[in-house]
Amino acid sequence: MKWSQSLKNNTSRSLQTAPFIFLGLVLGLVHIQWGFAAHRCIHDAAIHALPAPLHGFFKSHRDWIVGHALDADMRKHAIDGEAEKHYIDLDRYGPDSQFSPEVIPKLWKDAQLLYGDTIELHGIGPWATMKTYQNLTRAFFHQNETQILRSATDIAHYISDLNVPLHTSSNYNGAQTNQDGIHAFWETQLPEQFMSVYRLTPGSHPNMPRAKYLSNPAETIWKAAFESHLAVDSVLRFETILRTSMGPENSFAYVQRGRTQQRLHSPEFAYRYHQMLDGQVERRMQQSIFLCASLWYSAWVDAGQPILAFTKPEQSATYLQRIWSWLSI
């Protein structure tokens, strides 16, 4: 990647670059999520947090699970009702929701009864994650390998998204506080720049334990969302403080991506922000890995610990079969 402090004059080639700009915009929209590398890393590390014999099954399907880590995000643009599974705007439920998880019904039926149709407007992340947990448990019980892989990959994605603070706020991309772009900055640019120093190997660090059985998965899922929401304040406030002290000319830089230039926070800004957050992104990734592995493990235990064959997934599916498989949740 090439960084520069100013935008080059691209007028003369604007027509040539138009398709790339459009592609950039599409990719930009897709980027409203843990970045590609972070999602893949979380799915991969979670496999290593599992105990035997479940570890063997997941390891034998590692390529499929890691390769499909972003399927749920791609479905957002193709399937009605998918986008709201990736977030919940907890601030829409009143300020008490930050400190009183009891405010919101944890059972989907109770929540629907209380909030009616408005429930989907503010995101349904925790309920969707719990529903996927039930699907995974059922898939384990029936030893349905295809469904196990789909549900396991999706639940890993959903619980990872809920561990991103800005996935729990209506100010998810800083529009309400004049901080446009902070979403991708926190969850994509920071992990891309600092992932190599994050301690993400299960069992290697007190914050990075191996999977454990969750006796109340719904409660755990909601707790993760509330913990994320408590971090929203520092995510936004620290960025404002640092940008004010560094000034716009040092806070942002242009990066050459192919034939287009993109305005991002500068590497120096990212480094200082990373220091101010004091390991926050790393901790949210560690938590994502631990919860992902624990949800997989708990669903398998709840299903009666079935013996699963360590097989390779079907590789001979045609392109159309793979598309159909991807669309059929």
Chain positions contacting Zn ion, by CB under 5 A: 33, 73, 86, 161
Cβ neighbour number for residue 30 with a 10 Å cutoff: 14
Shortest distance (Å) from residue 155 CB to Zn ion: 12
Structure-block tokens of residue 191: 């992990």
Shortest distance (Å) from residue 73 CB to Zn ion: 4
Shortest distance (Å) from residue 235 CB to Zn ion: 17
Q: Among 153, 291, 133, which residue's Cα sits nearest to residue 209?
A: 291
Nearer to Zn ion, 54 or 190 (CB): 190
Shortest distance (Å) from residue 70 CB to Zn ion: 8
Task: Return the residue matching tokens 């990066």.
Answer: 255
Which residues are CB-contacts of 242 (< 8 A; sequence separation ≥ 6)? Answer: 251, 269, 272, 273, 276
Nearer to Zn ion, 77 or 142 (CB): 77
Rounded to a whole number of angstroms, the CA Rg of the chain reads 20
Position of minimal CB gap to Zn ion:
86
Shortest distance (Å) from residue 122 CB to Zn ion: 16
CA distances from 193 to 23, 35, 55, 109, 270 (A): 23, 11, 30, 42, 8
Q: CB–CB of 98/90 below 8 Å?
A: yes
Nearer to Zn ion, 87 or 252 (CB): 87
Nearer to Zn ion, 235 or 253 (CB): 235
State the first-to-last Cα distance of the chain, in angstroms, to the nearest integer: 37
Nearer to Zn ion, 97 or 188 (CB): 188
